[in-house]
Amino acid sequence: MVDESVRQKHTEIGFDTGVTDCMRLTVPRDLIMLNTPAINSFDFQNVLTIPRAASFSGSIAHLRQLDSFLTGEYNLPPQTITTSDVCFVPPPAENLPYLKYRFGLQIIKNEDKRILDYSELMTKIEKGEGSSIIDFVDGYLKEKVVNTYDETNSSFREEYPKNSARFFYSDNPLPLNQSQKKILTAIGNPKNRIVVIDGPPGTGKSHTIGAITYWSNQHKKSIVITSHKKEALDVVERMLTDKFKSLHPHTKPSVIRITRNNDLSTLNTIDNSLSLPVIDGAARRSDEFNLEAVERDRVKVRDSIEQTINTAINHARLFPEMSKKLLRFIQLEEELVVNSDELTGTPTARMRKSLARLWRKISTHSSSRVIFIARIGTA
How many Å apart are CA 79 and CA 101, to the nearest integer? 10
Largest Cα–Cα distance of the chain, in whole Å?
A: 143
Overall residue count recorded for the chain in this entry: 379
Q: Return the percent helix, strand and coil in the chain, to nearest 5.
A: 50, 5, 45
Residues 6+ apart with CB under 8 A from 338: 374
Phi, psi dihedrals of residue 205, rounded to the nearest 5°: -70, -45
pLDDT recorded at residue 209: 93
**pTM (predicted TM-score):** 0.56
284 Ramachandran zone, left/alpha/beta (phi>0; psi -120 to 50)? alpha
pLDDT recorded at residue 59: 76
Evaluated on CA atoms 246, 247, 248, 249, the torsion sign reads positive
The whole-number mean pLDDT for each consecutive block of 10 residues of the chain, a chain of 379 residues, reads 45 65 65 74 78 75 81 71 50 68 55 57 64 73 82 92 89 90 93 87 90 91 88 90 85 84 78 86 84 89 91 87 82 63 56 65 50 40
pLDDT recorded at residue 378: 38
Cβ(51)–Cβ(23) below 8 Å:
no
Q: Which residues pair with 179 in a beta bridge?
A: none
pLDDT recorded at residue 160: 92
pLDDT recorded at residue 362: 57
Residues 6+ apart with CB under 8 A from 279: none
pLDDT recorded at residue 182: 94
How many Å apart are CA 293 and CA 171, to the nearest integer? 17
Is residue 257 helix, strand or coil?
Answer: strand
Evaluated on CA atoms 51, 55, 59, 61, the torsion sign reads negative
